[in-house]
Chains A and B, each alone.
Chain A
Amino acid sequence: MSLAAEFAVEVVSAVLCFVLVKFMFKPYELTKEGRYLGLPLGFAFFGIAEVSLAIGIFESLNELRFLSLVTRTFAFVFLATTYYFSKEPTKNSRLFWDVTFSLLVVALTTLSLLAIRGSTIGIEVPTSLSVFLRVLSLICISYICLHTLRSHIKAPEPTTIWIPLGFILLGVSQYSLLIWAGDENYAYGIAFVGAMVARLVGLGVFIVVSYLSLHKTKNVNTDERNSA
């Protein structure tokens, strides 16, 4: 897989993520509950991660590659936090969400600044931090997969299996990237290509499900009017 192909994949992934932000904003728009902000934020940071990586590939900047890793990890953290707080809210859970959200923003800002400006102030990012971030991403994705699968099992319907599948594909992508990162040569092997494919298919699943559910009734009404 050439650099140009990797660049193209990152750009396409970024576009898909930013389209998803519009869809994922709907629950917050309807409910005005802050705990649903993690959905659009998660996919927005995912998109920012892809943009950073694309620019990092194009300009050969390692700082942007690390920034991409940080923002992608926090994307999954925001998504996992949203699912964790998606239960019936109580007075304390709202406060807990606000505190957690604030801490995540502070942590993300700190790590992002470290990624971009760390080398200029003599701070080297340890390799163990990169591994930690990748493992954290995997843990968050695994939690989301379990949560969505549990929701599906509680009320099994054909329409509710696709989102768990999408998250499973994102999880496979992250796991493949973890294997690829463990390769000292960073060769573009099966792990890397598989990660790219799984990510694109996973994002595609989200796009299709989001579009179909948010435009469903309008299509039905159009058909009813046409048949009348």
Chain B
Amino acid sequence: MLNAEHNSENIVLTRIQVKINVPFDRLKNYLSELNDLGLIENENTLKLTEKGRQYLEEYENVLDFMKRMGIAYR
């Protein structure tokens, strides 16, 4: 979702909220946390920083690795 939103030009927080099915205030908390960790540029967009991009790549690599290992992960 982060990858898709990062690539789109119009990021709408309510659309993200519907997709991940969390209350808006909790979404804001998550975005604040991502911002504090330096993974997104600011809390109003989902534009990834370089660090965020690297984290997403690593995350996808590990998920692929776990799939190849035959380990299910939600």
Using a CB–CB cutoff of 8 Å, the interface residues on chain A facing chain B are: 23, 26-27, 29-31, 36, 39, 82-83, 86-88, 147-148, 150-152, 155, 159-160, 162-164, 209-210, 213-218, 221
Task: Establish whether residues B71 and A36, one from each chain, have CB atoms under 8 Å apart when the complex forms.
Answer: yes
Task: Establish whether residues B68 and A159, one from each chain, have CB atoms under 8 Å apart when the complex forms.
Answer: yes
Task: Establish whether residues A221 and B57, one from each chain, have CB atoms under 8 Å apart when the complex forms.
Answer: yes
Docked CA distance A160–B72 (Å): 12
Task: Establish whether residues A152 and B62, one from each chain, have CB atoms under 8 Å apart when the complex forms.
Answer: no
* B interface SS class: helix
Q: Which chain B residue lies CB-closest to A30?
A: B62
**B59 close to chain A: CB less than 8 A:** yes
Task: Establish whether residues A87 and B67, one from each chain, have CB atoms under 8 Å apart when the complex forms.
Answer: no
Q: Which residues of the partner chain B approach A151 to less than 8 Å between Cβ atoms?
A: 70-72
Known: A27-B73, A31-B73, A88-B74. A160 touches B61 (CB 8 A): no
CB distance from A206 to the nearest CB of B (A): 9
Task: Establish whether residues A218 and B57, one from each chain, have CB atoms under 8 Å apart when the complex forms.
Answer: yes
Q: Which residues of the partner chain B approach A160 to less than 8 Å between Cβ atoms?
A: 67-68, 70
Q: Which residues of the partner chain B approach A88 to less than 8 Å between Cβ atoms?
A: 72, 74
CB distance from B33 to the nearest CB of A (A): 15
Docked CA distance A216–B67 (Å): 14
- Leading 8 A-B pairs by shortest Cβ distance: A148-B70, A151-B70, A213-B65, A86-B71, A217-B57, A30-B62, A26-B62, A213-B64
Known: A27-B66, A160-B67. A214 touches B61 (CB 8 A): yes
Task: Establish whether residues B67 and A217, one from each chain, have CB atoms under 8 Å apart when the complex forms.
Answer: no
Known: A27-B62, A27-B73, A31-B73. A163 touches B68 (CB 8 A): yes
Contact of B71 among A29, A83, A209, A221 (CB under 8 A): A83
Q: Which residues of the partner chain B approach A215 to less than 8 Å between Cβ atoms?
A: 61
Docked CA distance A25–B57 (Å): 17
Q: Which residues of the partner chain A approach B57 to less than 8 Å between Cβ atoms?
A: 217-218, 221
6 CB contacts below 8 A, A to B, read A27-B71, A27-B73, A31-B73, A151-B71, A159-B64, A209-B68
**B4 close to chain A: CB less than 8 A:** no
Q: Which residues of the partner chain A approach B67 to less than 8 Å between Cβ atoms?
A: 155, 159-160
**B69 close to chain A: CB less than 8 A:** yes
Q: Which residues of the partner chain B approach A82 to less than 8 Å between Cβ atoms?
A: 71
